[in-house]
Structure 1
Amino acid sequence: MSRTDPNLLKNKVAVITGAGRGIGRAIALAYASAGAAVVCSARGEAEITQTANLIREAGGRAIAHVADVGDYQAIASLFQRASNEYGGIDIVVANAGVALEQRRIADSDPALWSKTIDINLTGAYYTAHAAIPHLRRRGAGKIIMVGSGQRKRPAPGFSAYSCSKSGLWMLTQSLAVELQEDNISVNELIPGPVRTDLTRNAPMPPGEWVKEPADVVPLALFLASMPDAGPSAQSYSLMRRA
């Protein structure tokens, strides 16, 4: 687990989707190191169990809960369990995402195109929708959407992914406006190119900083630890060029 202030997120409860590997795992480990109780979620049981075990072995608090962000009832159960286990929810990181094919629109599979939108955009909507009642009961909270620079940088073969992330930006904006009175901030974290399974075949913008998942941690900690009245509807990018 990364070294950080062990009291930065003390007494906070964080739910992280896509926490089995890559960026999601790195954030889960960092939040636990900062004192938060972490609920690790993804479709793969073995991976999130490993993430939770790593946290507990380091003295942190964590549980693993299998849930597919494309299944609303599964996501609702995730947040209910998190609230039952830890007494509430303070931070939500909507990180789960896919890039299912790398074919140009004319050659693409309509089913895979639609599934990418379902997971990356509708899945983030499901995550926020299910989380809101629990955040409201706390009187404050933070939702962090993991976006992408490809929302405005189209690349051949990645139309579904780019469109889903463009929609995620607007979802972030809409949630921020609607939740302002509830003292819930909603911001977008744009990691830029990161070496993960998802980006193995993705084009890397020339001259960009290609990061490891741990390089995203400082920004994720910053967004999670901002004051309740902190900024909302903002996009925070680790890309060299917007």
Structure 2
Amino acid sequence: MNPVEDKALRGKVAVITGAGRGIGRAIALAYAKAGAAVVCSARSGGEIDETAALINAQGGRAIAIASDVIDYESVEALFAGAVKAFDGVDIVVANAGVGTVTGTIEHSDPKLWKQVIDVNLTGVFHTARAAIPHLRRRGAGKIILMGSGLRQRPNAGLSAYGSSKAGMWLLTQTLALELQDANISVNELIPGPVRTAMTDFGGKCQFNEEWVKEPEDVVPVAMFLASQPDFGPSAQSFSLMRRA
């Protein structure tokens, strides 16, 4: 990466949920290296403190703010904290999510099913809703929602997860339509299977003919979306899956 590319996000402020590990941490580190000030968020503070410390140790700028995406007031406080620390918000990566296997619909626990929807769909709504006023004040912005290829086809035992991601794709398109007047682009990033603590892909889970990635493999697309011009792509899905 040349010096110009390395500072593609200079002067920008990025808020990343689920930034304590895996894909979220990889994106946070990359955005900071590209010149952005980064607000690392997750439900608990320990891992996001580590992410922020890694960024600051490398000469970047980052803070950690614990926030639960299920709680809208908590998410509002996250963005208020970001603005207080860095005077605004330009990029939002809604990465917080759960991949819980809820079992067949017939035998699922309704409370667990609702929990997946609450985090993966309502939590994304909360994140976008709380971010919009701050992005509007900047005159432009980027919202990147972390999708899944499992929204495209039924999978036994994963009805809650698939439904949450299918709903999130429609939310992506609706947000893009509603925010085009404000130069705020909204896009979905589908990583495909990635080796993380949550998924255990490459361990007990196997994907024949699929590219099982490391979190860092998702970074180039996340960087592309964050660094596009104000009139760049919106309402689009960018997938790293080999199979449709």
Q: Distance in 1 between matches of 2:127 and 2:102?
A: 26
Identify the match of residue 220 of structure 2 among 197, 218, 221. 218
1:210 maps to amino acid = V
Do structure 1's residue 95 and structure 2's residue 95 form an aligned pair?
Answer: yes
Which residue is 1:173 aligned to? 173
For residues 186-225 of structure 1, the aligned pairs below 5 Å read 186-200=186-200, 204-225=206-227
2:43 maps to amino acid = R
For residues 1-242 of structure 1, the aligned pairs below 5 Å read 5-200=5-200, 204-242=206-244
**Secondary structure of the structure 2 residue equivalent to 1:79:** helix
**Secondary structure of the structure 2 residue equivalent to 1:132:** helix
Q: Which moved more, 1:52-61 or 1:96-105?
A: 96-105
2:116 maps to amino acid = T
CA RMSD of aligned residues (A): 1.5
Q: Distance in 2 between matches of 1:204 and 1:156?
A: 16
**Deviation, structure 1 residue 101:** 2.9
**Does the 8 Å contact 1:101/1:112 carry over to 2?**
no
| 1:74-102: CA deviation from partner (whole Å, max 9, x where unpaired) | 00000011011101000000000002334
* TM-score, with structure 1 as normaliser: 0.96
1:207 maps to amino acid = E
Instruction: Count matched residues.
Output: 241
Q: Distance in 1 between matches of 2:200 and 2:29?
A: 23
**Deviation, structure 1 residue 44:** 2.0
Q: Distance in 1 between matches of 2:63 and 2:40?
A: 6
1:106 maps to amino acid = E
Q: Distance in 2 between matches of 1:129 and 1:203?
A: 34
Q: Distance in 2 between matches of 1:65 and 1:113?
A: 27
**Deviation, structure 1 residue 6:** 2.9
Q: Distance in 1 between matches of 2:55 and 2:152?
A: 36
* TM-score, with structure 2 as normaliser: 0.95
**Does the 8 Å contact 1:193/1:204 carry over to 2?**
no
Unmatched segments (≥5 aa) in structure 1? none
| 1:212-242: CA deviation from partner (whole Å, max 9, x where unpaired) | 0000000000000000110100000001122
**Deviation, structure 1 residue 205:** 4.1
**Secondary structure of the structure 2 residue equivalent to 1:175:** helix
Residue identity (%): 65
Q: Distance in 2 between matches of 1:197 and 1:7?
A: 30
Q: Distance in 2 between matches of 1:75 and 1:158?
A: 27
Unmatched segments (≥5 aa) in structure 2? none
Q: Distance in 2 between matches of 1:198 and 1:116?
A: 14
